[in-house]
Amino acid sequence: MTLGNSEKQRRNSATTFQSVKKNDRITDSFNTYGDLIRAITTKFTGSSEAAKDVVGEIFLDLLRNAKRRRSADFDELIFISIIARRHLIERSKKIDQQSKTNKAKG
């Protein structure tokens, strides 16, 4: 029996996530999910340059939150997408707050 691409990706992602939890193979995780996170950040920020800056921050956030995820809870891809989206929303709020503060001062 041969596995479809999605099944192979799910099995590989489970292995990758375990290594991220151990902090010993972040490069593998980045190679697996870097394009996804770049796409999400580019869409959210509207700039590929801004997205590049945010990707590293998201992976650090992912590492910090890896211990909270239990593999039985939900798919790793969903978890990573949630972390990226949450990070981008928080970043957007911070930028909006700074903008309002600057307008009030100016």
Per-residue pLDDT tens digits for 38-95: 888 998 888 888 888 888 888 887 777 766 666 556 677 887 888 888 889 998 899 8
CA torsion through residues 15, 10, 70, 83, sign: positive
Query: What is the C-alpha to C-alpha distance for residues 33 and 27, in angstroms, rounded to an integer?
Result: 10
CATH number given to 7-105: 1.10.1740.10
Give the pTM: 0.63
Angle between helix 26-45 and 48-65 (nearest 10): 130
Give mean pLDDT, residues 17-21.
55
19: confidence class by pLDDT, cuts 50, 70, 90: low
Give mean pLDDT, residues 11-16.
60
- Greatest extent of the chain over all pairs of C-alpha atoms, in Å: 67
Query: What pLDDT digit, counting tens, does each position of 27-43 carry?
Result: 677 788 888 888 889 98
